[in-house]
Structure 1
Amino acid sequence: MTPRGRRLPDGFTIRIRADVERRGEKGVLVGGSPLRVVRLSARAWELFEGDRLEVKNATGRAVAERLLDTNLADPDLAGPGPADITVVIPVRDRPDQLDHALAAVHPLPCIVVDDASRDPAPVAAVAARHGARLVTLVENVGPAGARNAGLRHVHTQFVAFVDSDVRVDAATLGRLARHFADPAVALAGPLVQSRARSSRPRWFERYDEQASSLALGTTPCSVRPGAAVGWLPSACVVGRVAHLGAGFDPAMRVGEDVDLVWRLVARGHVVRYEPQETAHHDARPTIGSWLGRKFVYGTGSAGLAARHGTAVAPAVIPPVAAVGAAAVLLHRRWSWPVAAACLIFSQVRLKHVLPDIPGRAGLATRLAARGLGWAVRQESALLVRHSWPAAAALALVSKPVRRAVLAGLLVDVAVQACELRRPIPPSWLLARQLDNLAYGAGLWVGALHSRSPRSLMPRIPRKNAAASSNGVSP
């Protein structure tokens, strides 16, 4: 659905993504997130010059908006971006990190919100040295409340929320703000990569530099629940002040960034992830603080489930794909016939709903295989990460569950190796499993504390996203 009140300006340009496949001569595009098949009308297709479309009229505007919202195209942005940005940095103590953060964003105006530091004098001195406005809170309200306190003092059109342990320069923030040429965009965020502060990073710091919980991949995305990127970390985001309202939910000490993104999307705004721009987040310096943060992230899912229901589901798997994936992970003699039957069923179903284009049967087979592979990956994550306490308990008494857990571990390792594109060292394997255990433990503790299993429950979609066929015929 196109966001309410949106009207892309003339001259706004989009480019079909490199990972989107064109099929036949009928303007059929395969890709996006969630995966879908879209047929463009001949009139719409004539507006393109190669992979680019420049908005010049109502037809081009409708096509551009639709392809952006389905993640079949990305904005083709140019120029330095607006400079009308105020930086809000919440901090509690950490004067050294604050010093680095303020130096990086110079010369943008900054508001430092001291969230009841135990020793406020060094924080005030650093803020004064950089010419930043200081807002002092006498009671600790947490990062969400501190950011809101700073937002109330912002008088520019845009605001950048930057944590005190993040380094990002003013030029990067300006380039992120280019997304606001689309009037529906309320929030934009960069790739947030961890960076160890120690001169000789330890094994868990090296792992975090490559697999930070805040790093959301290298593919641009229109962010929403169910898309390849479903949230943005508030460690570094740029927002349109007019769309943010009161800002973050101050009652949330964790997950407040996910909540803000989902509320903005529900109100009809657009949120963009732009991994071509990068911010650097200090890696946790001790194994206790590193695992503790993973645990805290897990606990936040319960609060999100109370507010947003099934949007927080740890997996979204269609029933047929779920059965096929379970058969693969159990790897019994009957597993491959069952998996093959599920694959054939999905292929036949997809073939019936796909447009009549050359190679339709082959495309349906490939999409069905892709869906089964994604289901195997999701079920593996459930076993070794999200639901490992239950899987471990069942594995004590069930040989099939032990077999599935072992298969899930192997799939998890294979996925990491493919993403890294290099052999995985033993220390990485250890760090990965500790990451899974800490996050999963937090997820279950949060669910128990809230007395609700909603944050633990996978979601069964009403239809296979890969089967959707949407016409764009303005």
Structure 2
Amino acid sequence: MTPTASPLSAPPLSAPPPPSLPDGFTVLLGRRVRIADGGRALVGGSPTRVLYLTPAGAALIVDRRIRVTDAASRGLADRLLEAGMADPVLETLPTVDEADVTFVVPVFGRPAALDRLLTSIGADSTVIVVDDVSPDRAEIMDVAAAHGARFLPLDVNGGPARARNEGLRQVTTPFVAFVDSDIVVDRGATSVLLRHFADPRVAVAAPRVLGLRGETGLNWIGRYEEARSSLDLGIHPATVRPRSPVSWVPGAFLVARVDAIGEGFSAEMREGEDVDFVWRLAERGWRIRFEPEATVWHEHRQTVRDWLGRKAFYGSSAHPLSVRHPKDIAPAVFSPWTLGVSAALLAQRRWSIPVALGISAAAAWRIARRLGRSEHPARVSIRLTSAGVLAAISQTMALFVRHWWPATVLAAVFSRRARRALIASSLLDAALEYRRTRPDLDPVRFAVARRLDDLAYGAGVWFSALRGRSVRALLPDVRRRG
């Protein structure tokens, strides 16, 4: 048996090697990155920044791409990857033999799902099935044997993190794929993800997780999840790190470099262990890639009770993560001026819009002063300020309807302004998400599902905070610099 770890313990991780992208490695500027000043400046990244280039550096960018051929192009490509301003071009990355991967499958029951998963992985793969004291262990063992997988039974139920770690100890290949039993793997997904390890600083690569359509199809909850699943992180590749557009990847399917991840997950965590795993790697300097060109399918919950329970479970990871990562768990991030804009608009007074505009103008002026090397500092600062205002409004709406809803509902009972803000946030948030995701669902049921999603997740966050006797996971972060 594994010794019980302390609440704040975490398995040690290796340090990443120095940047050393191979020749031919090509990166493409992100869709939100703007080329300014005749090619001598790049605006974008996460967090948003302005990167000034020398004439020689600007010449390395051809059709928004940088191909590694020498030390200069290698340095620029690496810097853009680190800043979240570029993504690798898959077809330029070398392939890796899938024989170098061992699949580790933590299991608790569901032998039929395990059979489906192992069929999708294929008979030629090395698989370790780790049974976490399933009530139907004999059936699990029979399924593993039928597919030629190694069966590793545990004596004590310790949760998926501990089960993955036990499987990891048996891995002898350079790479490991952690995959949950309710997943179906696309045949080409693993090979696509392995290409990212041409970058020696990549520790983990994750695919896009889509909803699995069964023989009976999807009900309205299933169709909502198909468009707005917590596990589906979108259609655009990204560098994964805290407080970035893609700040985590689910543990449902992860390919990892064994030498990078040490002993693996924090075994005592039963929720949020995948987020903790990724964030600890990012803190050490490793890169984590989200790659939507690789896809797997997940069996989403479709009954209201199971679905809401899962959403609340996701929210319940907030406090454990706040203890381990207090600087990264904030539900929203503001600068003082964006906080001032939000506060002015929430006041709903005659002076609200003029004051918000005045704060924004002052912020644009200050940003422009810091862009002295730009040819058009005012133009760039206006774009950056506008983006900041929109982000602040979006985050404020999310706080009202998701993370803070118990408090905002209570405030709405006594305050007309709070009631108006809550109603407006609920409707506008649903409308914007409907337009963005274009689900196979009518607007009314989508809006209902959207609000139920937020209510369940927020309830999980509050329960977690009350249980941990800390409101840290509920507090926004106000950055005074950056």
TM-score, normalised by the number of residues in structure 2:
0.92
Question: SS at the partner of 1:311?
Answer: coil
Q: What secondary structure, in the 3-state scheme, does the structure 1 residue paired with 2:477 have?
A: coil
Match of 1:82 among 97, 103, 124: 97
Partner residue, 2:464:
446
What corresponds to 1:96 in structure 2? 112
SS of aligned partner of 1:408: helix
1:124 correspondence with 2:137: no
Tell me which moved more, 145-154 or 403-412.
403-412
Alpha-carbon RMSD: 1.7
AA of the residue aligned to 2:475: M
In 2, the alpha carbon distance for the partners of 1:104 and 1:258 equals 26
Residue 402, structure 1, aligned to residue 415, structure 2: no
CA contact (8 A) 1:325 1:373 kept: no
CA contact (8 A) 2:192 2:293 kept: no
Q: Match of 1:353, as an amino acid?
A: R
Greater displacement, 163-172 / 289-298: 163-172
Counterparts of residues 169-188 of structure 1 (less than 5 Å): 169-188=186-205
**Aligned to 2:259, which of 237, 242, 247?**
242
C-alpha separation in 2, matches of 1:141 and 1:355: 56
CA shift at 1:196, angstroms?
4.0
Q: Which amino acid aligns with 1:49?
A: V
Number of aligned residue pairs: 463
Counterpart of 1:35?
Answer: 48
Task: Specify every segment of 5 or more residues in structure 2 that has no aligned partner in the other structure, as ranges.
Answer: 1-14
Which residue in the other structure is 2:304 paired with?
Answer: 287
> 2:388 aligns to what SS in structure 1?
helix
- Corresponding position: 1:143 with 2:160: yes
1:22 aligns with 2:35: yes
User: Percent same amino acid among aligned pairs?
Assistant: 44
Matched residue type, 1:335: S
Number of the residue aligned with 2:80: 67
For residues 352-383 of structure 1, the C-alpha deviation after alignment (integer angstroms, 9 at most, x for no partner) is: 11244344322211221111011000011001
Number of the residue aligned with 1:456: 474
Assess if the C-alpha contact under 8 Å between 1:34 and 1:227 holds in 2: yes
Shift of 1:77: 2.1
Aligned partners of 1:185, 1:321: CA distance in 2, in Å?
34
Structural mapping, 1:126-275, within 5 Å: 126-197=143-214, 199-275=216-292
Change (3 A) 1:198 1:211: farther
* Paired letter, 1:325: S
Match of 2:11 in 1: none
Task: After superposition, give the CA deviation of every residue in 1:89-146 in whole Å (9 maximum; x if it has no partner).
Answer: 1111111111111111113211111110001111111111111111111211101011
Q: Check the 8 A contact 1:80/1:171 in 2, yes or no.
A: no
Offset at residue 345 of structure 1 (A): 1.4
1-structure distance, mates of 2:344, 2:395:
14
Q: Distance in 1 between matches of 2:159 and 2:336?
A: 41
State the one-letter code of the partner of 2:97.
Answer: P
Distance apart, 1:156 and its partner CA? 0.7
Q: Distance in 2 between matches of 1:411 and 1:370?
A: 18
Deviates more, 1:350-359 or 1:268-277: 350-359
Distance in 2 (CA, whole Å) between partners of 1:3 and 1:21 is: 30
Q: Once structures 1 and 2 are overlaid, which stretch shifts more, 198-207 or 249-258?
A: 198-207
Amino acid at match of 2:266: D
Question: Where does the alignment leave 5 or more consecutive residues of structure 1 unmatched?
Answer: 465-474
Kindly provide the CA deviation profile for residues 227-259 of structure 1, in whole angstroms up to 9, marking residues without a partner as x: 111111000110000001000001000100010
Give me the whole-angstrom Cα distance separating, in 2, the residues matched to 1:376 and 1:19: 19
Aligned-partner residue type, residue 111 of structure 2: P
Aligned equivalents of 1:334 and 1:444: distance in 2? 34
Deviation at 1:26, TM superposition (A): 4.8
Q: TM (normalized to structure 1)?
A: 0.94
Query: 2:333 is paired with a residue of what secondary structure?
Result: coil
The one-letter code of the counterpart of 2:244 is A
Residue 335 of structure 1, CA deviation? 1.8
Tell whether the 8 Å contact from 1:330 to 1:403 is kept in structure 2 after alignment.
Answer: no
